[in-house]
Amino acid sequence: GAVVSQHPSRVICKSGTSVKIECRSLDFQATTMFWYRQFPKQSLMLMATSNEGSKATYEQGVEKDKFLINHASLTLSTLTVTSAHPEDSSFYICSATIYNEQFFGPGTRLTVL
């Protein structure tokens, strides 16, 4: 299947700092990518839809000023958690669709101290 990568795989940061997570489609182009977060032992919650060349579409309740999404090319979307706080600690996963099938990255574990 198609490959989606994420970087970094895990990050620890201090409260108040910003963290950038990259999501890349390695062997295909993706005009649309998705960002999810997952809390322990829970299912995935869609945060936003990242659209290449235009603004992201955020789900209800997700702060767009806190979770900045940039989709500057057909193979790269970035999620920046601004002024991170301990409650932002979570597992963040991105995905992209090709031929109607959605493929997921390996996830990024964010821990905010």
Partner 1 sequence: KQEVTQIPAALSVPEGENLVLNCSFTDSAIYNLQWFRQDPGKGLTSLLLIQSSQREQTSGRLNASLDKSSGRSTLYIAASQPGDSATYLCAVRGFGNEKLTFGTGTRLTIIP
Instruction: Give residues in contact with partner 1 (CB under 8 A).
Output: 1, 4, 6, 32, 34, 43-44, 46, 49, 91, 93, 95, 97, 100-107, 109
- CB 36 to partner 1: min, Å: 9
Cβ–Cβ under 8 Å, residues 88 and 77 = no
The pairing of beta strand 4-7 with beta strand 57-58: unpaired
Closer residue to partner 1 in complex, CB, 28/91:
91
Give the whole-angstrom CA distance, residue 69 versus residue 21.
10
Q: Which residue has the tokens 């101290």?
A: 113
Nearer to partner 1, 6 or 25 (CB): 6
